[in-house]
A and B are shown apart, each in its own frame.
Chain A
Amino acid sequence: MLRLAPVATLLVFLAPIVAGLLSTALPAFGWFPALGGREFGFGIFARLFAQPGLGTSIALTLLTGILATALSLALALAFCAAAYGTNAFARAQRFLAPLLATPHAALAIGFAFLIAPSGWIARVISPELTGWTRPPDIATVQDPLGLAFVAGLMLKETPYLLLTLTAAIGQADLARSLATARMLGYGKFTAWAKVAIPRLYPQIRLPVYAVLAFALSNVDVALILAPTNPPTLSVMIVRWISDPHLDLFMPAAAAGLLQFALVVASIGAWRLGEIAIAHAARDWLTNGERGGEGRLRNASARAALTLLFALAIAALAALAMWSVAQSWRFPDALPDRWTSAHWLREMPSLAAPATTTLLVALSATAIALMLSVLCLENEVRSGKRASKALALLYAPLLIPQVSFLIGVQTLLVRLNLDGGFAALVWAHLLFVLPYVFLALADPWRALDPRYTRIASCLGASPWRVLFAVKIPLLLRPLSVAAAVGFAVSAALYLPTLFAGGGRWTSLTTEAVTLASGGDRRVLGVYAFAQAALPLIVYAAALAVPAILFRNRKGMA
């Protein structure tokens, strides 16, 4: 039975993605009888390429996606180089989890509040420093180059890469190599660059590609921060799909494939870039230059990360502030009147999306935990280390959501499953499972096998060992994995929109919808609630083992 766990997991998982992609490909190549498409060919692509603004949109997508990934990676690596082994590194670790639990959309909304020409930063420094009594006519949000969008992506992706780097450091046993390099006189920064990065990078390659795919194809952050005329390709696709005349449905499917191709090409180009950099750096790695202390580099890397964290925290504070502001006019640094009226008034309408968010996230997380534990148990019991096939679990993180969700939506409607709770949970599971598995895999594999052996020697069956020994011992990583899964689910926008069939709204879909509207105070309520829910769950996840094992040393 247990041996079937990985196979079953992959089936539940990959079959619909493949079916979804195929079902996107059919209309893209002209086959969609419902709209009179009965001839295979490239006509739909011709129509796609005739759409106004498509070229600019593709360029914007590539520029912002690659820039955001490169900058996030550079900053994460530079910070590790500058701060690994210091108190600053440990302090940064404490910020990572809450930042990662905060949904992209909430951060993006708060970030927009912050940096807009009439935003909080401008309000604080005006009119004293700037002389502005009215906001300047400068595009700082939705700017034509997409820089605000890049910065908004970095707010989430840098902490994510930092977390994966931390995990990789733990596995690579770098401390001794670094100490050796330092003894040989290498500067802190240079030691890291020459000794650590070549060993760490292969381990974080997959997460980097996932970041790249996300940056190239996400919809919710782009809706809030990216330019709109034209928008990024994925936003353009969502726009076309919601066109009432359906003229653009088939070109939108073609664009879904184009989006897929862009991601594949970008990952390929990134891989070539890796090879080129590795080649070019070969001499430098072994030329023996010690590189000095690099105080300036260290200080600027630390400052950049501190700024990033400060922006993220200020963004959340801005959400909270707006949600209790009665009126807050430019250039006042703070609201002139405060009120709880928005929270009280919105509470009834907040209840339904909050409940949906909670139920879907809990269901998807529970299933993901169960499947992950079964797969890992199978791996440990059969003694076969992670079968290659399980790497396919990461497919949903590398394939652009919109590319297969278009097809999945038509499939769900055809199967009469759209708008059902099960479809929604399944769509969330696609994205929750990889993260839960990632979070759980290392601690599970690292558990000392002697516990199992002792318990077996005492006569416990494998299942009894699992429930009586392993799960209690691994309760903390299990809770953390659950919190991660919850946060991933709570933040999903496009899967909720597509699989929910409009019947299910989550805090995320509500907040993104409201972001196009005009009352920051109500938006503040929703976005803050959206950010708060996963944070509360995260805190609870840490509290559970702490309470259960309050009288056990080293378990909480």
Chain B
Amino acid sequence: MLNIIKSGFFTTVQDTGRFGFRDKGVPVAGAMDSYTVSKLNSLLENVEDCAVLEITMTGPKLEFELDTYIVTGGAEMSVTLNDLAIENYKVYKVKSGDVLSYGKLIKGFRAYLGIKDGFRTASVLGSRSFYKPITEQDCIKKMSGLPYTECKMFGPKISKLKVDSILNKGQLEVYKGPEYELLTDKQLAQIFYKEFSVANENNRMAYQFNETIEGNTFSMLTSATLPGTIQLTPAGKLIILMKDGQTTGGYPRILQLSDMAISILSQNKSGDLIHFKLK
């Protein structure tokens, strides 16, 4: 078990996501910054759907009961292992009784903790990704534990990785969405020649912005939406659906983020500036 001494602001277990149930309204879920998570699992030589911890804004304090290997990545936070600072994207051996403690957020928004062979919380409908009510919990709770398997010997092929940072990046690559053609020249100019600041309404379901553009009165029948779909509301709000976003929607889907842009956006927080670039 990994004992949770402190939970942090919003810490969840995530893997690559829950597929095959979108026709029943079940969101994909999975790590918001999948770019970072794939790097962590590669370093640990894990299979790609091994579950990691997704740590939002402020981090937890954790105690290991079993020996294993870990690696951290994503947002930069001051992280210590038994009071010694550790670096991102470097494999560390941890022993029973070791304590991993997250401090201040320095850069980015979501940090990840990978562990050899992944966390072993319950798999529901093919995924361990937290999403209430599919999973019992919506985030980890103090004084509980997360199961993992012991690993005493592991010689990583690469023990440290230099990663192209996606932190502090504001450019989001987008494709035309199914209703892109509805946009007027004025709306296009407002979208592509303006910066947007991330609103307080930003979470695993959706990101919104403080700025609006000209609204859209087009009425369409409810149809599928995807992680990364940008909807335009009649009031001119842009809503970017993220990994826990609903599977259908009734607003025009004007743009679609690339996979990388979803990872980049998930490292942005309230007030950060972003702009769109058509791919």
- A and B are interacting partners: no
